[in-house]
Structure 1
Amino acid sequence: MSQPRKPPAPIKTPCIQVCVVDGESGLCLGCHRTLAEVAAWARFSEAERERIMAELPSRRGRIRPEKLGLFG
């Protein structure tokens, strides 16, 4: 009898389910990723995802504060 297959490990994501892209910065107001990054997230390697996630806090400064305030 073969072993049952384990489900794949969940992919870490910065998504907070506030999916609104700021036209000025090109970043999602929720997670601060670009549309291209959001679309390709599942195809990125773990190392690529970790690199992007490390950049996200500094990207927040590219979005005008009044826009960020719309979503808490």
Structure 2
Amino acid sequence: PPQNTASLEQFERIRTLGTGSFGRVMLVRHKDSGHHYAMKILDKQKVVKLKQIEHTLNEKRILQAVTFPFLVRLEYSFK
């Protein structure tokens, strides 16, 4: 599973790729490696208010566990 080896400060936000009920997905660039990633940024208050904590934790656990060509790979996760 991915390790918490990164922080938000290590990424440069480039642009918004999409928005949803709990936040947005941003195109970001890792400052050290130069690699580009899609970063999902959740609004914690909305997740809690709409009682979706378990749902979002399940999504994270599933993405950590699976390797499938049609699913994105979870590289980093942090609060």
Give TM-score scaled by structure 1 length: 0.28
Greater length-normalized contact order (CA 8 Å, ≥ 6 residues apart) = 2
Larger Rg belongs to? 1
Higher helix share: 1
Give TM-score scaled by structure 2 length: 0.26
